[in-house]
Amino acid sequence: MPEMTQVVDSEVISAYATYVVIVVLKMMLMAPLTSYYRMKKKVFANLEDTKLAHPVEEPKFVRVDPDVERVRRCHQNDLENVVPFVLVGLLYSLTGPDAATAITYFRVFAASRLCHTVAYVLPLPQPSRALSWLTGLVVTCCMAYRVLLHNFRL
Amino acid sequence: MPEMTQVVDSEVISAYATYVVIVVLKMMLMAPLTSYYRMKKKVFANLEDTKLAHPVEEPKFVRVDPDVERVRRCHQNDLENVVPFVLVGLLYSLTGPDAATAITYFRVFAASRLCHTVAYVLPLPQPSRALSWLTGLVVTCCMAYRVLLHNFRL
Amino acid sequence: MPEMTQVVDSEVISAYATYVVIVVLKMMLMAPLTSYYRMKKKVFANLEDTKLAHPVEEPKFVRVDPDVERVRRCHQNDLENVVPFVLVGLLYSLTGPDAATAITYFRVFAASRLCHTVAYVLPLPQPSRALSWLTGLVVTCCMAYRVLLHNFRL
């Protein structure tokens, strides 16, 4: 029976770890960006948060703003796409893929998500956002396909 | 010290990988389904998206629709349940569970999420959706219980 | 080439598994809490759910309530923070960190999320929620930093 050390390519795992951290940090960056827009536009979701922007309690600050909602939708889209990439990517990395192919997948995915965020937040005209989203989706599906075909022998 | 090859059952890991890919792909399928409903009902979240449906910019298409929101809630529920299953399931698979039990857990969970999606999107009368959601939750909790009791010796 | 058994500290993996299960279960607990508030305040997102609260179909129960939305925002914040912690934490655990440091990270993160939930749901005055959120974020970033610097040799 082959050992874990033979099955797992350390180059693939290293690249996987690096790109996972990059896309997860990018995803987490959406939270401070949301806070920035909330502060800038004085738009809050909770009554207790309004005191951070203004010493006197201001219920009128508790409302919905298109710019804030845009950043939140971008964050949500990250959750819906980055998390599957990380989960499927881990299993994909354990299938012993060709290192060059794997690293290409990771890079294309990371680039597609950076483009998606820029296209969403600015925003750029469509279909820039749709295409960057689709690119990431295709990468995850390619990896998922290989995982389904693979017979794990750890 | 036992080796990884002795601790991890390759049958369990193979089943885990297969069912993870199935439920994650099912979860990701909700995004195209949302797009389909948005196109069909001409309901968009962003002004720049309305051009995809109509060459002339149509701010009136930027609105909320009950059918679109239903699919989005289903997607959100997947995120809230499938992701914990995958994360806890990985640790569970490393505890060296009985293969038949593990595969039963994975199958029941995958079936429960498929039922949940059908019950949510159609929709079917309650409590079909509540019961399918609960079934998945119980599976994840059973796996979490075993992880908590297990002393990892890798 | 070093073996998996030498690289991975079983104490770190055991602690990782325990704290992952704790924070994921806490996150999943937000769903029943949302249901509880929906039942208590008779506020539902779907028409078919209103029958669970009342035998006669009551469209007026399909509405938005501030208390229910508060719990849902807390759940969403968990998704946005707990999932990155679990994903980055797994890679961090494989970098062979000092066990005491790793366990401290896990404990601080778990405590910060418990505080965050209490601060959000009650709610406590700000900046209690902001600080507990920030604490968790800093822990995840510290772990991410180590993963980026680490050269994986499995």
pLDDT tens figures, A17-66? 999 999 999 999 999 999 899 888 888 888 888 877 666 666 677 778 88
Contact state of C80 with A83 under an 8 Å Cβ cutoff: no
| C96 phi-psi bin (left φ>0, alpha ψ -120 to 50, beta other) | left
A88, A125, A154 member nearest B21 (Cβ): A88
**Average pLDDT of C119-135?**
91
B3 contacts on A by Cβ (under 8 Å): 3-4
Q: What's the pLDDT score for residue A10? A: 86
SS (H, E, C) chain B: CCCHHHHCCHHHHHHHHHHHHHHHHHHHHHHHHHHHHHHHHCCECCHHHHHHHCCCCCHHHECCCHHHHHHHHHHHHHHHHHHHHHHHHHHHHCCCCCHHHHHHHHHHHHHHHHHHHHHHHCCCCCCHHHHHHHHHHHHHHHHHHHHHHCCCCC
* Shortest CA distance from A67: residue in chain B: B46
CA distance C136 to C127: 14
Mean per-residue pLDDT over chain B, rounded:
87
Rounded average pLDDT over B123-133: 90
For chain A, give the percent of residues with pLDDT over 90. 62
pLDDT in tens, A48-62: 888 776 666 666 777
Contact flag A48-C123 (C-beta cutoff 8 Å)? yes
Non-local CB neighbours of B27 within 8 Å, separated by 6+ positions:
A80, A84, B75, B78, B79, B82, B113
CA nearest B49 in A: which residue? A126
pLDDT in tens, A124-149: 888 899 999 999 999 999 999 999 99
Mean pLDDT of chain A: 87
Residues B76-96 have a mean pLDDT of: 95
Separation of alpha carbons B42 and A119, rounded Å: 21
Lowest mean pLDDT segment, chosen from A47-51, B80-84, C97-101: A47-51
- Which among A5, A49, A86 has CB closest to C87? A86
The average pLDDT across C12-19 equals 93
Inter-chain CB proximity B126 and C49 less than 8 Å = yes
Q: Is residue B101 scored above 90 in pLDDT?
A: yes
Per mean pLDDT, which range of A93-102, B42-51, C1-10, C114-123 is the poorest?
Answer: C1-10
B45 — pLDDT class (breaks 50, 70, 90) = confident
Q: What pLDDT is recorded for position C42?
A: 84
Query: How much is the pLDDT for B1?
Result: 36
